[in-house]
Chains A and B, each alone.
Chain A
Amino acid sequence: MEPQLKLLKINKNEYLAQQKSKLEDALDMGLTKNEYDLICKKIDKTPNMTELGVFSAMFSEHCSYKSSKKWLKTLPTEASHVIQGPGENAGVIDIGQNLAAVFKIESHNHPSFIEPYQGSATGVGGILRDVFTMGARPIALMNALRFGPPDQPLTKHLVSGVVKGIGGYGNCIGIPTVGGETNFDKSYDGNILVNAMAVGLAKKDRIFYSAATGAGNPVIYVGAKTGRDGIHGATMASTEFTENSAEKRPTVQVGDPFTGKLLLEACLELMNTDAVLSIQDMGAAGLTSSSVEMASKGSLGMNLNLDLVPTREDKMTSYEIMLSESQERMLMILKPGSEEKAKSIFDKWDLDFAIIGEVTNTGRLILTKDGFEACNLPLEPLVEDAPEYNKPYEIKTDKKVLKPSDLKINLTIIDILKTIFKNPNISSKKWIWEQYDSSVMGDTIFTNGESDASIVKIHGTEKKESYGKGLAITTDCTPRYVKSDPIIGGMQAVCEAARNIASSGAKPLAITNNLNFGNPDKKNVMGEIVGSIKGISEAASFLGTPIVSGNVSLYNETNGKSILPTPVIGMVGAIDEVENSLAISAKLDNVLLVLGQSVNFETGWIGCSIYQEVINKKYDGAPPPINLENEKKVIEILLKLNEKKLLTAAHDISDGGLLTTVCEMLFKYNLGLNINLPSNLINCNSYDPLLQSWCFGEDQARIIIATKDIKKVKLILKENNVDFFVLGQTNSSSNLNLKDIATISINEIKKINEKTIPSMMGD
């Protein structure tokens, strides 16, 4: 064979890539027999290895959403402020003044477990490209992280690597990482979650899309060279982990934030001209998904000469080039005649720029390599015939309502509070955040340690009388609620996100979601997916915050054990005058009051609460119910009060309940407070279950606000028929007193709060 190949000028591996595939090859690539048979039938031939590789990538769960598509279609995606919903690189919403916010969240779970630094770094790089592909300059990064328990051997290594990787990319490219969440649970021990979100800003009339246009137009490859890294990453992300997963290390991509920065600047510079007709980043499944999606969205075809693709390594085959997930690459269709102008921009930024093919009207993807046709496939089956499964599901819910009297309590309120702040899920994540550059770009007003949502000022909207508009961003999910009741859990994630946005003073606008689940072939996991999508849909419709982009990550299991269902909600809101945004820290002589809690409220909801975990060492029972009317009411009244400039701080009540929230509001200025109690609780002792449930229950639709003008606030609340409960006025004593029942030293709790994560990380 060798001499013949020499004669043909084709290298041996390329020759093999162009040979006919067998069923075993398909199974190796993660396809099923049925899928393979379908492919052969639809394309009317036996695919060669490259063609099969293209199919396997496009049919992977990661690209085709085959298990979840049926349900994703039910999400609410429309509203008058939505410019682009799901289906593009990122979602786009109108935020006024001819500006648009462009955002998306995406998971990089599997790669980050295998190689925490590179996995998380490329997660950030990938989501940034999704945003600037649309013509937006990224202005903020967020992340939602889930790890195994701190005492597990791998946790420290994973936390340290993931945090370094996120910082490594974001800090270098110069986009501030302004917030997120980090949680720990045993279910994530073998399967961590790394979800990264990016938000960008564009002119409303300068959004770029991916659909190819105009047969004959040149197809351009720009950015970094293609290497052998990340081949079949999308397929890897679509299977369960086993003990052998470490062998998959070569399928993890390597990030280069410096090239990412050059690509960002070069693309935005080029987008300022009229040269770009359409553009798509090469993310999961690299050149395969970008070329297939661009061509199919434009109902056109594409011819590419793979010999022209800039490669980092010798003798790469068509198969490798098509399936490489090398980072920092883009595919563009340019207006004919603008190639020179475009090339000069990429030359300036020292980036590769290659015309690798052209748009056709054949409806086919035709690839040549070493002078031979390496792939010739109709586009329709690649996209349209990707399977859509209606997998059996069962929504399991825990309906048991836990009563305070069910608990055997041997801890005082102070003991419980200390334990809560020792919990790494509650305690301060400062150790993590300080490793992220949160102030680059000079527009960060609050990170989410300071406010319930992170706030960034919108550059260029300053006016004489105002610092201009701001965006509020948050990510939220309470997986233990979703586990107990997927529908309520899904609703709660949306409601908490909206409450957080509102507590920062901004109006909730739209959602990007990252649905992380176990193996969808299991009925109960599929039930978690279906249930939480139902819950998310209901809450998002009610609150007018549609889903405009998102990502699904399934098969988050290790050796058959599934993660807690984790549908992360990334929400974006806007505030007209950014100086009116609110932090969580109350100031001296402010009155604190709980919105959404009536004077008659006596028994807190303890099922599935952090408090229950402290007492019972487990979570069970039904999660706190959701009342969407009430959620909307507290959000609307808070925004109304803030518009009248009556508020000095706000903090929503979530994990750890009322007392935990109050403590967090007093930390910054070391303040004290004598808390009012409902009349029937005044004579309780510190062990009283009813009083403890009042302190730590996790009933929803409540926000604590701080004001200097309690009279006006009360008046407005009464006029609007909103329940409220006045907690008291802050003082300089730095003691939190519950009548004669307990005196809590804010300083002491604060120290515990700040110590947990550093001591866990050995700092």
Chain B
Amino acid sequence: MRSGVVIFPGSNCDRDMIVALRQITGKTPIKIWHKENDFPNLDLIVVPGGFTFGDYLRCGALAARSPVISSIKNHISRGGTVLGVCNGFQILIEAKILPGSLIRNKKLLFTCRETTLEVQNCMKNPFLSGFKIGECLKIPVAHNEGNYFAPKELLKQLKEEGRIALKYSKQNNSEKNYNPNGSSDDIAGILSTNGRVLGMMPHPERAINYLHGGTDGLKLLTNCVKQIIG
């Protein structure tokens, strides 16, 4: 299993993701600096969270124009797997690798808390295949712009193509604000057309240890690694 974590100026969850992947694979992922477009073939590329370029423009907009993006696109066109978390999800959207947009949270406040995610009946993909449909995962979010927004036609299309991977769940959640950001259809994560790219707002790398309050993030990432190495 060869994995890499992309680092932009302002990335701040790169170390956390490296720790998680090392814990699972026993190997340290390579660090890919945003100016690089020449790195070895990898099984998995993770675009981690953070505030790339300060998010002073639209979140992820500047990072999406970095040299590394074309290499990520090449990796995808070769059938490679990519996971974008939080700001990484925003970058994948700004790079037009995933459709839709991520706008300000409905309450206009940064939100950091645990959420319950529900695995959707979606297309075959290396991230969630193996989980039961409707299975719940407790994974925290921490973001300002995680409100997934898409026009009705796109939402319909995503649903029909089985590309809605994770939703914030009403199940087992007494809080009326189970959806932390007001996203359309409670969407927390979506897949690319071929199912090899997942963008998600919650941070699986922050739920890898029972001391974090849960290990569902570990479960998700471990599943992903298993599916990739077959």
Contacts and interface: CB of A to CB of B under 8 A. Distances in A.
Contacts of A437: 110, 112, 142
Given A258-B56, A434-B113, A439 B211 contact: no
A121 to B, nearest CB: 12
Interface in A159-208: 164, 167, 171-174
Contact of A439 (B10, B56, B206): B206
Contacts of B113: 434
B103 interface: no
B130 interface: no
A436 B208 contact: no
Contact of A261 (B12, B13, B206, B212): B12
Interface in B176-230: 203, 205-206, 208-209, 211-212
A457 B206 CA distance: 13
Contact of A171 (B19, B51, B140, B203): B51
B135 interface: no
A578 interface: yes
A261 B87 CA distance: 16
Nearest to B144: A171
A258 B10 contact: yes
Given A172-B10, A174-B13, A258 B51 contact: yes
B111 interface: yes
Contact of B212 (A349, A442, A459, A763): A442
A467 B211 contact: yes
Given A256-B54, A442-B212, A262 B206 contact: no
Given A257-B51, A435-B110, A439-B140, 4 more contacts: A164-B110, A261-B51, A437-B142, A442-B20
B134 interface: no
Interface in A221-260: 256-259
16 contacts: A164-B109, A173-B12, A174-B12, A258-B53, A261-B9, A261-B51, A434-B111, A435-B110, A437-B110, A438-B142, A439-B112, A439-B142, A440-B12, A442-B16, A444-B212, A467-B209
Chain A interface bracket (under 10, 10 to 19, 20 to 34, 35 or more): 20 to 34
Contact of A440 (B10, B16, B109, B208): B16
Contacts of A763: 107
Interface string A248-287: 0000000011110110000000000000000000000000
Interface in A676-713: none
Give the 3 A-B CB pairs with smallest separation, nearest first. A174-B12, A258-B54, A442-B16
Interface in A407-451: 433-442, 444-445
A728 B111 CA distance: 38
B55 interface: yes
B13 A440 contact: yes
A350 interface: yes
Contacts of A636: none
Interface in B39-55: 49-51, 53-55
A261 B112 CA distance: 20
Nearest to B113: A434
Given A257-B54, A258-B53, A171 B110 contact: yes
B15 interface: yes
A667 B180 CA distance: 22
Contacts of B50: 174
Given A171-B142, A174-B13, A442 B19 contact: yes
A24 interface: no
A256 B19 CA distance: 28
